[in-house]
Amino acid sequence: MTPTVEGEGGAVGPLAEIGRELLHGEAPEAGAEGAAPYRAGEALAVLLDQARKKTIRVWAEQSPFDLKDVLKRRGYRWCDGSDGRPRSWYIDVGEDQLGNEIAFLKTEIYLSEVEPRLQTLTALSRFSVRA
């Protein structure tokens, strides 16, 4: 169901508010109560900038079962392998965070040199069932 925007002073659904903010730059002024951390008009630019960035999916394959809680606290998610992907823990990180994530796996999970499976995700592949 798509929210509708009623006439002057009418109810506005939350998705309509977000759309108006993104498309028309009608965000509250910086510093105002409930204001976003950007100035009006920048929301769409920020959204597009984030969408253009590559994300790296790091797979922690064959990680020790007793360290699953460590991985969960770090933000890893479980993939049960039912969709053809590895049956493994994984996390999506920015390119600038990749080195830190591999260092974490080496020192906290595997306790040895590892070369984890890496998968580059783009805006086009991020939500694809084929990714």
SS3 assignment for 33-68: CCCCCCCCCCHHHHHHHHHHCCEEEEEECCCCHHHH
Between these two residues, 51 and 27, which has the higher pLDDT value? 51
Is the domain of 84 the same as that of 40?
A: no
Q: Say how many domains are in the chain.
A: 2
Is the domain of 46 the same as that of 77?
A: no
pLDDT of residue 64: 96
Is the domain of 71 the same as that of 106?
A: yes
Is the domain of 65 the same as that of 45?
A: no
d(CA 43, CA 38) in angstroms, rounded, equals 7
Is the domain of 88 the same as that of 106?
A: yes
Structural domain including 76 reads 53-121
Is residue 127 scored above 50 in pLDDT?
yes
- 21-46: pLDDT as tens digits: 666 655 555 555 655 565 656 777 77
Is the domain of 44 the same as that of 89?
A: no
Is the domain of 65 the same as that of 107?
A: yes
- 58-97: pLDDT as tens digits: 999 999 999 999 999 999 999 999 989 999 999 999 999 9
Residue 8 lies in a domain: no
Is the domain of 39 the same as that of 94?
A: no
Is the domain of 26 the same as that of 65?
A: no
Is residue 71 within 8 Å of residue 118, measured between CB atoms?
no
Between these two residues, 123 and 110, which has the higher pLDDT value? 110
Is the domain of 94 the same as that of 36?
A: no
What average pLDDT does the segment 102-128 reach?
91
Residue 64 lies in a domain: yes
